[in-house]
Chain A
Amino acid sequence: MPVLLLIPLLPFLGFVVNATIGRRWSKTLTGGVATAAMAGAFGVSVVQVWAMLSLEPVGGVRAIEQVVFTWLSSGPLQIPFALRLDPLAALMILVVTGIGTLIHLYSTAYMDGETNPEFARYFSYLNLFASFMLILVLGASFPVMFIGWEGVGLCSYLLIGFYFTKPSAADAGKKAFVVNRIGDFGFILGMLILFTAFGTLDFQNLATQVSLMGAEPATMAGAGILTAATLLLFVGATGKSAQIPLFVWLPDAMEGPTPVSALIHAATMVTAGVYMIGRNAVLFSHAPFTLEVVAVVGVLTALMAGTIGLVQNDIKRVLAYSTVSQLGYMFLAMGVGAFAGGVFHLYTHAFFKALLFLGSGAVIHALHGQQDMRYMGGLKSKLPITFWTFLIGTIAITGIPPLAGFFSKDEILWKTFSSGHPVLWGLAVFAAFLTATYMFRLLYMTFYGTSRASEAPSTEHPAQSTQHPAQSTEHVHDAPPAMAIALVVLAIGSVLAGLFGVPHALGGGNRIEAFLEPSFHAVTLVAETPALDVSLATEVGEAAPGAQTEHDAGEAEHGDTSTELLLMLGSVLVAVVGIWVATIFFLRAPERAEAMAVQFSGVHRWLLNKYYVDEFYNAVIVQPIKGMSTSFLWRTVDAGIIDGSVNGVGLLVRGWSAVLRRVQTGSVRAYAMSIFLGVVTILGYYLWR
């Protein structure tokens, strides 16, 4: 049995159990099964990663590949259900199963208020999600990745709409799915172009062929194909990873239970787009135009989401926009060719953003569903564990050394600058300032000052169907053990995760870059593919452009250590300024923030309403299509033109049937007989005439 399959299979079995018999079990058992399935997957992952690392590299890459069965097969289209574990996938499955286990554990306490069947339903979805996410990561080809890609979208749909009786939740789920499908449109077209051009959809084969193509100068058409294909794939990524213009679903996705937001809409699924680009780094690095687009979209998304995050009042929505913004960072990294940097940020972000979401969940849990920060405050002493872990997460995302976010964010900023994108770098630094400000605003509004719980309008719709938001904070309790464990472990991760990638400039080894780098290159030694000339293969190895840039970058890095250190200092300063601004406006003198909101009410309203993007889409796309379909296509073309002409003929026939009605006897058999005779007569006429 292919052992790699166990990794997605264990959570899948958890799903099957909880979806069928779990509803009759106790919550302890249901949650236990689900969490154990995840922990098991984590265990298998660790063992497999270890096994992978102890392999001898083949063609520069260590990888375990296992074919489970032949899935699609038709002529030249042969897609085995194959899983491949390489360093990039290894990092991802450890994040997915590791953080996934913690979030499952956390959920056992967080979802305790649900009835048994609902509890089982929740965990079945969560397990199913993990299973699909692992297929997405481990899939060795585009179609297999696409199973996971769509599968996680489905689970996201189901979990966003978990409180399905709430129309807003059901709407948000559908919106997420549909917007993702718009991305899939690009993803599928990208696949089609790649298959038509290269005859394969296997990641490794594609990379090999593309790197071969790069060695040939005269492939203008080829370059055009790659640009088109990668741009279309990037459209898919903007859907899944909530980038401009398809980011609109993610903030609404906060309708789902908070642990779901942490797992799916922060740590794992939304990073799939980044992962997909990393997985196809060779393709993207051969399409420089696409990379520019990726970088620009990334940085613009980071800015846009950061500014919106400044003024939102729903604690989860602030975090959602923060996620969009941080994903923008990751795409910026991918766009400037710093694939390892982007994935590094993905990995550290998974820790601190999951932590922040789970922390906000602990707050919401304590306040019985209150999500509006205007009615929080003063929770610092009431929820010490939540507060301290949340503080760590906030510092980590802000980019204060030596916490995780600092290293990964700085890596991205430095790579942006050193790759010759000073403008993008400037914008990214500004986004870092925004991050510091909105995060500390959130921290201050939630935990500092005095409780504003009594100001909450009691008529407000409860955030969760079964609960009513607390009107006072007198009886709030800190996170129960299962939740506290998850918070503490993630907090430790948020502190330490970055040490994996301390840059050379700070005397570190940037181990993560060295670890991941092989995944971003084509397999250079192609001994297994006999048709390839060996000399050609070695030539390719030398000419692999990715390898060269890395080499150059390595040299440049040594020369620019002082610049790097300077920029590093600068970005830390920017973060500190951001904190300082937040402190002034939201801790010392909140009235100043209010005054500013009034003074710049236009801008404020613009931001509060998220640049009116949803309204714009609704007015320009959704309503016109609906209107056109109803009044033009259906009522005019279908019912009017086409049916009108048919009915004209029909009327003629009816006139005749009025005459013929007299011969009708009402006996079914007589009808059958007469029609049959009629057919025979007509046939007979033609045959015997």
Chain B
Amino acid sequence: MALTLLVLLPVVGGLLVLLLGRDRDRLVRQVALGISLITFVASLFVWFGFDAAQADFQFVERYTWLPDFGISYHVGLDGITLWLVVLTTFLTPIALLCSWESVDQRVREFSFFMLLLEGAMIGVFISLDLFLFYLFWDAMLIPMYFLIGIWGYEQRIYATVKFMLYTMAGSVLMLLAIIWIAYYHQTVTGVISFDLLDLYALQIPASLQTWLFLAFTLAFAIKVPLFPFHTWLPDAHVQAPTAGSVILAGVMLKMGTYGLLRFSFPLFPEAAMQFAPYLAVLAVIGIVYGALVAMVQPDMKKLVAYSSVSHLGFVVLGICAMNVIGVQGAVFQMLAHGVSTGGLFLIVGMLSERRHTKLIAEYGGLKAVMPKLVGMFLLITLASIALPGMNGFVGEFFIFVGSFAEYPGLTAVAVSGVILSAVYMLWMFQRVNYGPLTNPKNKGLRDLSPREWVVIAPIVAMCIGMGVAPRIFLTPMEPAVRQLVEHVRGVTPVNAAAVPAEDLETAGPLDVVQGSAR
């Protein structure tokens, strides 16, 4: 029941919030925050109860739902989803708290949608039935649609339409593929099934794999977003309210990379290994492209949005490496990016709450008036540019190590992201916070309020904590990642992936030493 509870808590809580009186905004906020905190604590209990040594799904619940169609309510979580769920429950209360003052219209509906979104996102992560997964996947779009469309900035309608169009375009193809694969299960075994574990065991012919893989992957690539499917993201982010951006960047983008890991690769391993190099190329283009375009953005939110394109490129690169180090790096980077980019959006939100602008040129010299906020800003910036000892480094380094073994040339290009991220982040940081305080509107801006401290402190703590003690997160996910990699690789022998890295494998004597090195 634990996992179902994690979904139901926010959903039922959200409905409860709707029942509260119309003019009781304060109470609504408190109740919503309370519910999200309870959900967070509940997810921690799931973590405590999680057996880190086990690779298989845990906390599994399975109830027949529509037996005629092979649909069941089947949920569970492994070391990969464990952290994504915790990330979701961690960011939601923060997102609610950051909207405490900025959202003052229709607070009830806002809180309802936020909680509904949380429930749907958790549902996506824990679903082990493709139908159930798709239900949550689409359900998650609805609250986000309204969050941007109602509480967003000036051009919110354009942004929401674009967001919906993009995502739905991908989703429809995925839905087709889901139905197709379920029916294919019937043609092979005689029973229709949407159950993920059943479908994992299916041997799908290569030609069919290709089409299904592409259909799934398109949906996920849009969500990631992978170059060139990324242009919805800057608009959505710029127009979304802070809470929306935090959740969008923090969790929803990871749905795409999660989908690759959970569905595209293990369901269609042969096709996946065939297409992985091409995905890796797109990922690396995204890394460099996103960084270069981020560099020249005049709007802070847009800059952070494009930086997400770059960072998520790293994640996809790690997944395409399909080895333990690369995939662990990818999952870790998903978490790290969720925390640090969530943090960046929170900071930008705090600034624009004070000044009602997100344009970099409007700022300058803020350190003189708000040293504490700028201090936190600096720490999150450093996490984002992957300073060792901060959370960004672990993911990036693992991804580099993992993908270098598969794609040394591409990885070398990807490493240039290290330079570019420093350029765009520090340049923005400098223009916003350093220099003389010339704009009179920036004089007398107040520093962090106690509420804002509560919002930003957990983020900063995680930025550092995850960088210093990444093992807490890496250990429970390693068995699941290993099993995943072996499953995907099991179909295609490791060497068949045309590894140019073989040039690097030195002969004879080194192998002997490698074994004894440690």
Contacts and interface: CB of A to CB of B under 8 A. Distances in A.
A344 B134 CA distance: 67
B282 interface: no
A561 B228 CA distance: 68
A588 interface: no
Nearest to A157: B426
Interface stretch (B19-27, B78-86, B139-147, B209-217): B139-147
Given A165-B437, A196-B404, A686-B179, A75 B231 contact: no
Contacts of B150: 668
A484 B279 CA distance: 63
B506 interface: yes
A174 B142 contact: no
B517 A209 contact: yes
A230 B78 CA distance: 41
B435 A75 contact: no
Contacts of B176: 686
Given A70-B471, A73-B471, A188-B415, A198 B388 contact: no
B430 A174 contact: yes
Given A177-B422, A184-B418, A196 B501 contact: yes
B411 A192 contact: yes
Nearest to B309: A638
B2 interface: no
Interface in B188-208: none
A78 B166 contact: no
Contacts of B401: 77, 192, 195-196
B418 to A, nearest CB: 6
B419 A182 contact: yes
Contact of A633 (B69, B289, B509): B289
A647 B161 CA distance: 10
A222 interface: yes
A164 B433 contact: yes
B352 to A, nearest CB: 22
B416 A185 contact: yes
B400 interface: yes
B57 to A, nearest CB: 21
Given A154-B382, A633-B292, A189 B165 contact: no
Given A189-B412, A192-B400, A221-B507, A205 B368 contact: no
Interface in B263-296: 289, 292-293, 295-296
Nearest to A183: B419
A646 B165 contact: yes
What does DSSP make chain A's interface, helix, strand, loop or mixed?
A: helix
A571 B516 CA distance: 49
Interface stretch (B44-52, B250-258, B321-329): B321-329
A532 B145 CA distance: 63
B518 interface: yes
A165 B504 contact: no
Contacts of A532: 512-513, 516
A151 B506 CA distance: 33
Contact of A189 (B296, B415, B503): B415
Interface residues of B, number: 92
Interface string B393-432: 0100110110011001001100110110011001100100
B165 A74 contact: no
A222 B292 contact: no
Contacts of B505: 197
B106 to A, nearest CB: 7
Interface residues on A, range: 35 or more
B508 to A, nearest CB: 7
B161 A653 contact: yes
Given A143-B397, A189-B415, A626-B295, A213 B506 contact: yes
Given A178-B419, A219-B506, A629-B296, A170 B231 contact: no
Interface string B304-344: 00000000000000000001110011000000000000000
Contact of A74 (B138, B179, B325, B430): B325
Q: Point out which of B328, B469, B482, B509 has the most chain A C-beta atoms below 10 A from its C-beta.
A: B509
B435 A185 contact: no
Nearest to A628: B292
B465 to A, nearest CB: 13
B518 A200 contact: yes
Contact of A216 (B228, B411, B419, B508): B508
A181 B422 contact: yes
Contacts of A629: 292-293, 295-296
A171 B510 contact: no
Interface in A181-221: 181-182, 184-185, 188-189, 192-193, 195-200, 202, 205, 208-209, 212-213, 216, 218-219, 221
A146 B506 CA distance: 25
A659 interface: no
B514 interface: yes
A553 interface: no
B462 interface: no
Contacts of A650: 158, 161-162, 165
A658 interface: no
B226 interface: no
Contacts of A209: 510, 513-514, 517
B422 A147 contact: no
B175 A225 contact: no
Contacts of A612: none
A643 B231 contact: yes
Interface stretch (A42-50, A327-335, A487-495, A671-679): A671-679
Contact of A197 (B400, B470, B504): B504
B418 A185 contact: yes
Contacts of B435: 164-167, 170
Interface in A665-689: 668, 671-672, 675-676, 679, 682-683, 686-687
Given A643-B231, A668-B150, A222 B430 contact: no
Interface in A601-634: 625-626, 628-630, 633-634
A177 B469 CA distance: 25
A195 B402 CA distance: 10
B389 interface: yes
A630 B296 contact: yes
Nearest to B419: A181
A530 interface: yes
Given A161-B434, A218-B507, A199 B139 contact: no
A205 B518 CA distance: 8
B14 to A, nearest CB: 11
Interface string B118-156: 000000000000010011001100110110001000000
B427 A174 contact: yes
A529 B518 CA distance: 7
Contacts of A185: 415-416, 418-419
A225 B329 contact: no
A675 B426 contact: no
Nearest to A232: B412
B145 A675 contact: yes
The 6 closest A-B pairs by CB, nearest first: A531-B516, A170-B434, A75-B324, A629-B292, A192-B404, A147-B388
13 contacts: A72-B398, A74-B474, A149-B388, A161-B434, A165-B365, A165-B434, A195-B404, A196-B501, A197-B510, A212-B510, A219-B507, A646-B231, A687-B179
Interface of A: 69-78, 117, 143, 146-147, 149-151, 154, 157, 161, 164-167, 169-171, 173-174, 177-178, 181-182, 184-185, 188-189, 192-193, 195-200, 202, 205, 208-209, 212-213, 216, 218-219, 221-222, 225, 529-532, 625-626, 628-630, 633-634, 637-639, 642-643, 646-647, 649-650, 653-654, 657, 668, 671-672, 675-676, 679, 682-683, 686-687
Given A166-B436, A167-B436, 18 more contacts: A72-B471, A154-B387, A170-B430, A170-B435, A174-B426, A196-B401, A196-B405, A197-B504, A202-B517, A209-B513, A209-B517, A212-B509, A222-B506, A629-B296, A630-B296, A634-B297, A679-B139, A686-B179
